[in-house]
């Protein structure tokens, strides 16, 4: 049991953290001792982008620009993050040193060193944080990339729960495990399902701590809802087990309370689920000939969604654009090749029946064995046309009817670096590599808006929003319509309870990239970025006007989120602050807009 020392006994924490050049900055001898303690895994952090500033026209610089569109290259480099910055908010900056952790003991040594020397800590696994929480200049980085061991369990019982919980199938993952690694081990090889994310290079540890979603969360619940146990290093340097029976308060906080806030996770054990026979996809576009026709198209879809798609068989996205283009990019769960066609035929027929609408080709509707959905080798052998070279074009299909059975898009892109093996990512995620964000906002839309008396109001607000900015509806990121057990499991997490009564998460965003300040010809457009942020805010405001509470998803939200405490965690925030005070009373773990961050300056160096 954790014992908290009385405040009069524990020395007061300094009000400002130490930076290089300060008199209190650790000596070379101290750093050498830390390196010995972690088995030689303390490394000075290189900043590859510096090459672009020194020699922007060199062949090496041109290759680096190309590599900044490869998420594996970015993830393999401790001095890079997938997002390079955000207008008027932050630019990615490297830590001074990184501990390339190989076990929990390495993490504990780094935590103790940072605490004893009053250093700023940063933690990075996948490095996907839009809000810059996985990097901090002048800091010590705990880099978990190499912690990716995976162990399957047929009958797992959390430590200390032997008398209260039944054994269940599970998988234990190192904190550096990314989605594709988990899917290959659990789905492809073991024939089970793990609730990871949609993007194949996202880190599971950050996803779970952020309460994250995958394409099929409507069926299984959030990633945090499947957490059974965590090994975590807390601010006092202790390696702790957190589960429903041991440190249950810390365990609850790790389920959606925000990454990098309550400790450094080294290992996670999550529940595995039954894998359905099929996963499938539906992809098509419809262009409306006028604004009025577009409004009617949106209204028709709202009704169609409520009657046919508002269930746990359907996830992913509908896209609405200011040019009156409506795009569907959805995935199905447990439906064979014929069932999705029957579902979507009436909607396609409705659009084709009017000259006001043009259905754009190709229309792709199909299903494949779920066990092969993330099986890169299987895709190579059976459907090589969906493997997209990094400088190639996307799949072009022959169309023989309005509805055709094709393999799901988006296509896969391969990591073409020597020795990269089967590293791959979805083409649709390439745009997030090396981007510089102009704006990013999210809003949960409550299921009450789907009631017959509210559908017109919802459709009108969606149309009004589309006049300002492109946006997406992510149906898998709102759990309403899902099975009761998935909703119950998610309710027992720290995530804003609004997720359980929302039918979708609206996301509106804009960005450019690769881009970085100070690089001639590649600098972020500040003026254009601010204008885009205004348009995005106007777009989301149209939906806020009909939404009773301003709930947002912490990992995909506005850097300048107003009232982030309520937006991210709702009524759970007071409990999270109590747990934060218990396990990290001096704020060693601070991230932007994280629990307790209101007590620190934006850069995390000065206590307010």
In the chain, the percentage of residues whose pLDDT exceeds 90 is 88
How far is residue 297's CA from residue 102's CA, in Å, rounded to a whole number? 53
Residues 379-417: tens digit of each pLDDT: 888 877 666 555 443 333 323 344 444 444 558 899 999
Mean pLDDT of the chain: 93
Mean of pLDDT values over 143-149: 98
Please report the pLDDT score of residue 380 as a whole number: 87
Written as six digits, the tokens of 608 are 């307010």
Residue 602 pLDDT more than 50? yes
Residues 541-583: tens digit of each pLDDT: 999 999 988 899 999 999 999 999 999 999 999 999 999 999 9
In the chain, the percentage of residues whose pLDDT exceeds 70 is 93
Residues 255-312: tens digit of each pLDDT: 999 999 999 999 999 999 999 999 999 999 999 999 999 999 999 999 999 999 999 9
Please report the pLDDT score of residue 383 as a whole number: 76
DSSP letters spanning 153-218: EEEE--TT-TTTS--EEEEEEETT-BHHHHHIIIIIIT-EE----SSTT-BHHHHHHTT---TTHH
Please report the pLDDT score of residue 6 as a whole number: 37
Burial of 401 (0-12, 13-18, 19+ CB in 10 A): exposed
Q: Is 57 helix (H, G, I), strand (E, B) or coil?
A: coil
Please report the pLDDT score of residue 382 as a whole number: 81
Residues 306-363: tens digit of each pLDDT: 999 999 999 999 999 999 999 999 999 999 989 999 999 999 999 999 999 999 978 8
Contact 239, 104 (CB under 8 A): yes
How far is residue 72's CA from residue 387's CA, in Å, rounded to a whole number? 17
How far is residue 592's CA from residue 261's CA, in Å, rounded to a whole number? 10
Please report the pLDDT score of residue 181 as a whole number: 98
Residue 605 pLDDT more than 80? yes
Alpha-carbon distances of 108 from 29, 232, 412, rounded to whole Å: 19, 9, 38
Residue 32 pLDDT more than 50? yes
Residue 371 pLDDT more than 50? yes
Q: Is 431 helix (H, G, I), strand (E, B) or coil?
A: helix
Residues 147-187: tens digit of each pLDDT: 999 999 999 999 999 999 999 999 999 999 999 999 999 99
| Model pTM score | 0.94
Set out the domains of the chain in order of their start, with CATH numbers.
28-146 (3.30.43.10), 150-274 (3.30.465.10), 278-368+431-564 (3.40.462.20)
Residues 35-77: tens digit of each pLDDT: 999 999 999 999 999 999 899 989 999 999 999 999 999 999 9
Residue 238 pLDDT more than 90? yes
Please report the pLDDT score of residue 387 as a whole number: 66
Mean of pLDDT values over 219-234: 98
Q: What are phi and psi of 534, to 5 degrees?
A: -65, -45
């Amino acid at each position: 049991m954790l014992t908290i020392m009385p405040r009069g006994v524990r020395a007061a924490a300094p009000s400002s953290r130490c930076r290089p050049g300060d008199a209190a900055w650790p000596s070379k001898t101290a750093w050498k001792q830390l390196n010995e303690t972690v088995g030689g895994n303390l490394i000075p952090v290189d900043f590859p982008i510096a090459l672009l500033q020194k020699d922007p026209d060199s062949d090496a610089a041109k290759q680096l620009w190309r590599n900044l569109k490869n998420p594996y290259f970015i993830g393999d480099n401790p001095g890079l993050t997938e997002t390079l910055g955000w207008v008027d908010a932050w630019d990615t900056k490297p830590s001074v040193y990184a501990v390339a952790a190989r076990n929990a003991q390495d993490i504990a040594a780094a935590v103790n060193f940072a605490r004893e020397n009053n250093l700023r800590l940063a933690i990075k696994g996948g490095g996907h944080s839009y809000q810059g929480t996985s990097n901090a200049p002048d800091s010590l980085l705990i880099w978990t990339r190499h912690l990716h061991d995976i162990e399957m369990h047929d009958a797992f019982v959390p430590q200390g729960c032997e008398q209260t919980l039944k054994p269940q199938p599970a998988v234990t993952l190192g904190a550096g495990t990314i989605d594709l690694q988990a899917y290959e081990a659990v789905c492809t090889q073991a024939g089970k399902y793990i609730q990871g994310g949609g993007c194949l290079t996202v880190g599971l540890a950050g996803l779970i701590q952020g309460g994250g979603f995958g394409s099929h969360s409507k069926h299984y619940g959030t990633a945090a809802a499947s957490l059974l146990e965590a090994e975590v290093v807390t601010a006092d340097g202790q390696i702790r087990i957190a589960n429903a029976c041991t440190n249950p308060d810390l365990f609850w906080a790790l389920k959606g309370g925000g990454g990098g806030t309550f400790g450094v996770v080294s290992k996670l054990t999550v529940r595995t689920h039954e894998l359905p026979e099929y996963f499938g996809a539906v992809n098509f576009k419809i262009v409306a000939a006028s604004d009025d026709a577009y409004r009617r198209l949106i209204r028709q879809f709202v009704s169609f969604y409520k009657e046919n798609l508002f269930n746990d068989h359907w996830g992913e996205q509908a896209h609405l654009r200011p040019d009156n283009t409506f795009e569907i990019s959805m995935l199905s769960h447990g439906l064979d090749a014929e069932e999705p066609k029957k579902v979507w035929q009436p909607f396609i027929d409705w659009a084709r029946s009017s000259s006001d609408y043009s259905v754009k080709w190709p229309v792709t509707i199909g299903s494949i064995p779920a066990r092969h959905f993330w099986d890169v080798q299987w895709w190579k052998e059976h459907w090589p046309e969906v493997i997209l070279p990094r400088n190639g074009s996307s799949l072009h299909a022959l169309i023989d009817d309005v509805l055709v059975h094709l393999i799901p898009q988006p296509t896969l892109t391969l990591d073409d670096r020597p020795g990269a093996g089967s590293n791959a990512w979805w083409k649709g995620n390439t745009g997030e590599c090396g981007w510089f964000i102009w704006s990013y906002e999210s809003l949960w839309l409550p299921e009450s808006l789907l009631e017959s008396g509210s559908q017109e109001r919802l459709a009108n607000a969606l149309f009004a929003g589309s006049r300002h900015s492109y946006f997406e509806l992510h149906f898998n990121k709102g759990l309403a319509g899902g099975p009761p057990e998935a909703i119950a499991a998610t309710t027992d997490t720290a995530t804003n309870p609004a997720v359980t009564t929302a039918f979708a998460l609206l996301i509106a965003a804009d960005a450019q990239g690769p881009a970085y300040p100070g690089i001639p010809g590649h600098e972020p457009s500040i003026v254009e970025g601010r204008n885009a942020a205004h348009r995005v805010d106007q777009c989301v405001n149209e939906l806020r006007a009909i939404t009773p509470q301003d709930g947002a998803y912490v990992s995909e939200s506005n850097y300048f989120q107003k009232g982030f405490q309520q937006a991210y965690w709702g009524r759970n925030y007071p409990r999270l602050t109590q747990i934060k005070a218990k396990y990290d009373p001096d704020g060693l773990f601070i991230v932007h807009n994280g629990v307790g961050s209101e007590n620190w300056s934006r850069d995390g160096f000065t206590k307010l």
